[in-house]
């Protein structure tokens, strides 16, 4: 039996007095793109933080490629050793570093030799179409270019999994369509599993194989989009699947 | 038209008050110094140059001490998983709100020849340049700590998280947090450099010759030569202007660098470095607490409190009176200038630069300016009364209130004011009806912090207090030379209590703000 790329078992997270996640369990298989959907405050971002190790779950366990990284309130593997990459909702590009510097940072601190670093950064910059903007600071880039740098920063690490936290939420409609197409092409030859947080059914339909719906910190429903659309368990799932444009169904 | 008229009038009044309180005395020093015949000969003596460069070097040493400890401590307390961090920060920060002379007295009671931990060697070390660097360094380090604390809290949490995914906490601090928060740290370092260069009372107490003390010496004791003092003050004014420019450069594109906007829910864990983080916190708290403990032990040993009560007289009332008047006017100015600064007004930037220059110029120099400006028969109603103290303290510390209120306004959306303007509210209505009600905690914090800075001032009060208007720090300074040590220690603790009361109110405000 193949070990899942990510295994989440009965995870509960408390943020102060608020129960952000309650007994959440699901798997992500190798090469699979899983959307995590849910209304605001449902615990989507908290789930990503728990996977990354930025928040330690109060109970339950998380394993990455069979290695338990946290269990019952104990951080077993710190964030920098989990081999995960993340595209943040607000991109979180370091403003004091250039586009190439943002890509190179992780490789440098992980001790990747300079020649190898340069090769990987150049390759990813070419892949995201920003070779000519390597020396530009984020403030000098357009919204779409910043979005690509954020994705490039995740890809260059050759991570065990990529997590995306509503990566298109801050874009206007035209740019969102362009970036969605770009994302799809980037993830189509995906070398690793992806967890994609969104509240937009169209995005999920465009890039994801399966959907995990969170509501009030619990899993409300899981399945493919067709399964969810066929038998929506809650009003949110109904609205979520109802929003998907025809071409994606 | 009404809107512009109201705004122009408000700025004109604020500018007038600050020009009278800060600008005229500074200009008077410069003009008197330049016009004095033979001034060059007094200024360019080997002794004056040696003292000036020595004082710059001393300020550099104090700043290095403060940056080394303060930046590390500010980062640890700002981002680290340190239970009770605000309590540790408050304990560490306490000295910066007190006259440095009190801390020097405390260290004397610990390390002096007959101090609790002292002997001949420690006394010789304390009453030398090394002791001066240590006392000023430990007193002013909290400024760097506080600036760093607010600077790193202002870094967007996602930028730290993005680094944390790929690097250890220490690497994230060094490669991401510190490069992003450097403007705040630079401001802290500049403040320490300025205040340590300007300090007169502590070098005099520890018997170390410094340049501002030579200016000060021309205005008291056996020599009264304000003209010569004005000449000697010229390079100090120039230095203050250079520092104003440096501060502007540091904060040019980082107006909110000290606003602590970041809402970090998850502190960073230092892993194997946790012991080092706690060692830093302990060092910061111990350095700040020890001199106060020294004062307490000395005051209690020979019943200093009862004698101190008798000698207190009206000094505490005088201190409070002049500080309250200055802080109240400063808060009113802050409502106009601080708001203007936050909203990008060019005029506010110029007025703020003047206030900053007055703050950065040593009190000995602004004191010369005040004497040259106001010591004449026509203005005896100012110079001969407590008004002169309030006026000079206002000129010197208005910038504290302005910057605090600016930071508060920066955290409020401009759209609220725009909505009021669209609804027909003029400038004064917007300030009174939107800005002040929304940022009232910042305005009170501005008042309280300005009050604390006025209370901690020794040099301005020594130079300018009128007959019967002695303030508490002046009484401590004059008694320190010949008075009974337990009494002086107890008086110093009265001052600490006064300051603590103001700071407790500030803390209550801050708590209210967090829970609001």
List pLDDT tens digits, range B338-388: 999 998 889 999 999 999 989 988 888 888 888 888 988 898 888 889 999
Mean pLDDT of B16-30: 91
Is A88 part of any domain?
no
In the structure, what pLDDT confidence band is assigned to residue B313 with cuts at 50, 70 and 90?
confident
* pLDDT above 70 (res B323): yes
- Domain end, chosen from A128, A158, A188, is at A158
Enclosing H/E stretch for A154: helix A143-156
Q: What is the mean pLDDT of chain B?
A: 87
Q: How far apart are the first and last CA of chain B?
A: 37
Q: Looking at the DSSP assignment, which residues form a beta bridge with residue A21?
A: A13
**Closest alpha carbon to A183 in A166, A206, A160, A200:** A206
Classify residue B112 by its DSSP letter. S
Residue A247's pLDDT is: 47
Q: Examine the fold and report which residue of A103, A124, A158 is the final residue of a domain before the chain moves on.
A: A158
Mutation target for B interface from A105, A111, A156, A157: give the one with most B CBs within 10 A.
A105
Are residue A214 and residue A147 in the same domain, yes or no? no
Res A132: pLDDT: 94
Phi, psi of B133 (to 5 degrees): -60, -45
Strands A6-15 and A18-28: antiparallel
Side-chain half-sphere of B236: how many Cα atoms within 13 Å?
39
What average pLDDT does the segment B455-461 reach?
89
Instruction: Please work out, in degrees rounded to the nearest 5, the angle formed at the alpha carbon of residue B305 by the alpha carbons of B303 and B311.
Output: 120
Pair B185, B147: CB distance under 8 Å:
yes
Token pair in block for residue B236: 């100090």
pLDDT the model gives residue B260: 54
Q: Distance of CA B59 to CAs B105, B309, B378, B496, Å?
A: 20, 36, 39, 25
Which residue is closest to A106 within chain B, CA to CA? B166
Residues of A in contact with B167 (CB under 8 A): 80, 105-106, 109
> Which part of chain B has CATH 1.10.3720.10?
1-32+300-516, 48-94+128-261
The alpha carbon of residue A96 is apart from the nearest alpha carbon of chain B, in Å, by 7
Helices (H), B431-516: 436-438, 440-456, 459-464, 472-482, 485-515
Residue B253's pLDDT is: 60
pLDDT at B217: 79
Statement: residue B25 has pLDDT above 50 = yes
- For A6-34, the pLDDT digits (tens) are 999 999 999 888 889 999 999 999 889 99
In this model, does residue B332 exceed pLDDT 90? yes
In terms of C-beta density within 10 A (0-12 exposed, 13-18 middle, 19 or more buried), how is residue B224 classed? exposed
Domain count for chain A, please give it.
Answer: 2
Torsion sign across C-alpha atoms B161, B162, B163, B164: positive
Q: What residues are paired with A18 via a beta bridge?
A: A15
Residues of B in contact with A157 (CB under 8 A): 166
φ and ψ at residue B223, rounded to 5 degrees: -105, 125
**Which of 36-75 (A) contact B at CB < 8 A?**
49, 52, 54-55, 75
Q: Which residues, including other chains, have CB under 8 Å from residue B17's CB and lie 6 or more apart?
A: B329, B333, B394
Structure tokens of B513? 């703000």
CA dihedral for A240, A242, A248, A249, sign (positive or negative): positive
Query: How distant is the Cα of A227 from the closest Cα of chain B, in angstroms?
Result: 34
The residues near A236 (Cβ < 8 Å, ≥ 6 apart) are A37, A38, A39, A213, A215, A220
pLDDT of residue B516 exceeding 60, the answer is no
Mutating which of B162, B163, B176, B515 best tests the A interface, going by the most A Cβ atoms within 10 A? B162
Contacts of residue B175 in chain A, CB cutoff 8 Å?
A: 105, 109
How far is Cα A95 from Cα A109, in angstroms, rounded to an integer? 18
Residue with tokens 């400024």: B143
For residues A124 and A229, state if they share a domain.
no
Report the candidate in B284, B295, B293, B360 with the shortest Cα–Cα distance to residue B93.
B284
Residuewise pLDDT in 10s, chain A (249 residues): 688 999 999 999 998 888 899 999 999 998 899 999 999 889 999 999 999 998 899 999 999 999 999 999 898 998 989 999 999 988 899 998 999 999 999 999 888 999 999 999 999 999 888 999 999 999 999 988 998 999 899 989 889 999 999 888 777 777 777 777 887 777 776 668 999 998 888 888 888 889 999 999 999 999 998 898 888 889 888 888 886 654 454
Interface contact flag, B165 A85, Cβ < 8 Å: yes
Which of the following CATH numbers is that of domain B1-32+300-516: 3.90.1210.10, 1.10.3720.10, 3.40.630.30, 1.10.10.10?
A: 1.10.3720.10
* pLDDT score, position A246: 47
Give the model's pLDDT for residue B1: 45
Q: What is the DSSP letter of A160?
A: S
Residue found under tokens 């979180």: A92
Same domain, A176 and A74: yes
Separation in Å, CA A113 to CA A107, B45, B79: 8, 58, 31
Q: Does A115 touch chain B (CB under 8 A)?
A: no
Give the pLDDT confidence score for residue A122 in this predicted structure.
95
The reply to whether residue A94 touches residue B265, judged by beta carbons under 8 angstroms, is no
Q: Does A109 touch chain B (CB under 8 A)?
A: yes
Q: How far apart are CA B92 and CA B90, in angstroms?
A: 5
Bridge partners (DSSP) of residue A14 are: A19
Cβ distance A95 to B176 less than 8 Å, yes or no, reads no
Give residues with Cβ within 8 angstroms of B135, minimum separation 6: B100, B103, B104, B107, B126, B202, B206
Structure tokens of A163?
Answer: 């997590």
Contact B165 A80 (CB under 8 A): yes
Closest partner residue to B271 (CB to CB) among A52, A78, A96 is A78
Q: Answer for the pair B29, B463: CB distance below 8 angstroms, yes or no.
A: no
| DSSP 8-class letter at A24 | E
Which pLDDT score is estimated for A110? 86
Residue among B107, B95, B36, B49 at smallest CA distance from B372: B36
Q: Is residue A249 part of a domain?
A: yes
Are A103 and A211 part of one and the same domain? Answer: no
Q: Positive or negative CA dihedral for B260, B265, B270, B274? A: positive
Is the confidence at residue B311, as pLDDT, over 70? yes
Give me the domain span that covers residue A115. Answer: 93-158
Residues of A in contact with B159 (CB under 8 A): 92, 94-95
Q: Are residues A154 and A174 in the same domain?
A: no
pLDDT band for B397, please (50, 70, 90 cuts). very high
Q: In this structure, are A245 and A167 located in the same domain?
A: yes
Are residues A75 and A169 both part of a single domain?
yes
| Superfamily per CATH, domain B48-94+128-261 | MetI-like (1.10.3720.10)
The least confident of A204-218, A229-243, B128-142, B316-330 is A229-243
Indicate the SS3 state at residue A197: strand
Check whether residue A25 and residue A137 sit in a common domain: no
How do residues B399-411 score in pLDDT, each as one tens digit?
999 988 998 888 8
Chain B interface disruption, residue of A73, A96, A98, most B CBs within 10 A: A96
Compare B246 and B60 and report the one with higher pLDDT: B60
What residues of chain B lie within 8 A of the CB of A90, using their CB?
156, 158
Distance from CA of A191 to the nearest CA of B (A): 19
Cβ contact, residue pair A79, B162, below 8 Å: no
Nearest to B166 among A89, A96, A110 (CB): A110
B158, B166, B168: residue with CB nearest A157: B166
**Pairwise CB contact (< 8 Å): B166 & A96:** no
Residues 201-230 of A with CB under 8 A from B: none
For chain A, what is the largest distance between any 2 Cα atoms, rounded to a whole number of angstroms? 53
Which residue of A lies nearest to B169 if distances are taken between CA atoms?
A: A80
In this structure, the number of other CB atoms found within 10 A of the CB of residue B282 comes to 11
Task: Verify that A73 and A19 share a domain, yes or no.
Answer: yes
Closest CA to A197 of A62, A85, A64, A44: A44
- Per the CB < 8 A criterion, the answer to whether B479 and B311 are in contact is yes
CA angle B29, B30, B35 (to 5 degrees): 100
* Residue A242 within any structural domain of the chain: yes
Taking 80 as the threshold, does the pLDDT of residue B14 lie above it?
Answer: yes
| Domain end among A112, A139, A158 | A158
| Cα B408 from chain centre | 18
Q: Scanning the structure block, which residue is given the tokens 């101090």?
A: B115
Q: Is the ipTM of this complex over 0.85?
A: no
Question: Is A116 contained in some domain?
Answer: yes
Q: Give domain status of residue A178, yes or no.
A: yes
Of A84, A89, A95, the CB nearest to B165: A84
- Scan for tokens 């993005």, then name that residue: B162
Residue B293 has pLDDT above 90, yes or no: yes
In angstroms, the separation between the Cα of residue A43 and the nearest Cα of chain B is 15
- H/E segment holding residue A67: strand A67-71
Report which of B192, B166, B184, B340 is spatially closest to residue B262, judged by C-alpha positions.
Answer: B184
pTM, entire model: 0.81
Distance from CA of B168 to the nearest CA of A (A): 6
> What's the pLDDT at B264?
55
CA distance B360 to chain A (A): 30
Residue B258 has pLDDT above 60, yes or no: no
**8 Å CB contact of B179 and A54:** no
Q: Does A135 touch chain B (CB under 8 A)?
A: no
CB pairs under 8 A between A and B: 63
């Amino acid at each position: 039996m193949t070990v899942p790329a990510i295994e989440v078992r009965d995870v509960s997270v408390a943020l102060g007095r608020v129960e952000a996640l309650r007994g959440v369990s699901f798997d992500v298989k190798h090469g699979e793109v899983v959307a995590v959907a849910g209304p605001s405050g449902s615990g989507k971002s908290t789930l990503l933080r728990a996977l990354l190790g930025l928040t330690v779950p109060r109970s339950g366990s998380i394993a990455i490629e069979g290695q338990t990284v946290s269990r019952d309130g104990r951080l077993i593997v710190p964030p920098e050793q989990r081999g995960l990459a993340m595209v943040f909702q607000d991109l979180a590009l370091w403003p004091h570093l250039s586009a190439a510097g943002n890509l190179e940072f992780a490789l440098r601190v992980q001790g990747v030799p300079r020649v190898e670093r340069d090769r990987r950064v150049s390759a990813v910059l070419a892949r995201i179409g920003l070779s000519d903007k390597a020396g530009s600071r984020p403030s000098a880039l357009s919204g779409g270019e910043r979005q690509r740098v954020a994705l490039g920063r995740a890809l260059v690490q050759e991570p065990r999994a990529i997590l995306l936290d509503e990566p298109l939420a801050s874009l206007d409609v035209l740019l969102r369509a362009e970036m969605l197409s770009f994302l799809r092409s980037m993830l189509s030859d995906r070398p690793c599993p992806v967890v994609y947080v969104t509240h937009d059914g169209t995005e999920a339909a465009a890039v994801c194989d399966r959907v995990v719906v969170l509501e009030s910190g619990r899993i409300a429903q899981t399945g493919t989009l067709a399964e969810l659309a066929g038998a929506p368990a809650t009003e949110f799932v109904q609205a979520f699947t109802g929003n998907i444009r025809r071409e994606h169904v | 038209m009404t809107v512009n008229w109201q705004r122009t009038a408000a700025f004109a009044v604020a500018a007038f008050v600050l020009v009278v309180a800060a600008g005229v005395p500074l200009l008077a020093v410069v003009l008197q110094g330049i016009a004095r015949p033979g001034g060059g000969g007094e200024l360019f003596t080997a002794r004056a140059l040696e003292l000036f460069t020595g004082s710059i070097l001393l300020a550099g040493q104090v700043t290095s001490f403060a940056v080394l400890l303060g930046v590390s401590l500010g980062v640890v307390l700002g981002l680290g998983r340190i239970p009770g961090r605000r309590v540790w920060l408050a304990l560490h920060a306490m000295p910066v709100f007190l006259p440095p002379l009190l801390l020097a007295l405390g260290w004397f009671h610990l390390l002096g020849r007959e101090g609790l931990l002292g002997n001949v060697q420690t006394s010789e070390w304390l009453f030398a340049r090394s002791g001066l660097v240590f006392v000023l360094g430990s007193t002013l380090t909290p400024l760097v700590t506080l600036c760093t604390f607010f600077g790193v809290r202002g870094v967007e949490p996602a930028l730290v998280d993005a680094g944390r995914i790929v690097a250890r906490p220490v690497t994230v601090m060094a490669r991401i947090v510190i490069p992003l928060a450097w403007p705040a740290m630079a401001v802290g370092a500049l403040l320490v450099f300025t205040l340590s260069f300007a300090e007169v009372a502590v070098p005099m107490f520890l018997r170390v010759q410094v340049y501002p003390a030579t200016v000060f010496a021309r205005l008291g004791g056996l020599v009264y030569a304000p003209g010569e003092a004005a000449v000697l003050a010229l390079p100090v004014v120039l230095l203050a202007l250079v520092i104003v420019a440096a501060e502007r450069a540091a904060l040019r594109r980082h107006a909110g660098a000290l606003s602590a906007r970041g809402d970090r829910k998850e502190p960073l864990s230092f892993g194997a470095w946790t012991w080092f983080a706690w060692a830093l916190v302990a060092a910061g708290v111990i350095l700040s607490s020890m001199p106060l403990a020294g004062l307490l032990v000395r005051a209690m040993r020979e019943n200093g409190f009862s004698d101190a009560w008798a000698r207190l007289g009206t000094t505490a009332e005088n201190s409070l009176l002049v500080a309250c008047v200055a802080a109240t006017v400063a808060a009113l100015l802050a409502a106009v200038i601080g708001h203007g600064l936050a909203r990008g007004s060019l005029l506010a930037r110029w007025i703020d630069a003047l206030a900053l220059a007055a703050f950065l110029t040593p009190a000995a120099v602004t004191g010369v300016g005040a004497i040259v400006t106001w010591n004449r028969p026509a203005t005896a109603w100012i110079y001969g009364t407590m008004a002169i103290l309030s006026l000079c303290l206002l000129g010197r510390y208005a910038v504290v209130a302005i910057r605090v209120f600016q930071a508060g306004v920066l955290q409020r959306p401009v759209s609220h004011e725009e909505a009021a303007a669209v609804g027909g509210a003029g400038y004064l209505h917007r300030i009174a009806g939107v800005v002040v009600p929304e940022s009232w905690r910042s305005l009170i914090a501005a008042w309280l912090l300005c009050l604390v800075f006025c209370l901690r001032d020794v040099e301005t009060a020594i130079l300018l207090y009128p007959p019967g208007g002695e303030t508490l720090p002046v009484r401590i300074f004059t008694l320190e030379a010949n008075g009974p040590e337990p009494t002086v220690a107890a008086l110093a603790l009265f001052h600490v209590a006064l300051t603590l009361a103001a700071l407790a109110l500030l803390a209550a405000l801050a708590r209210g703000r967090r829970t609001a």
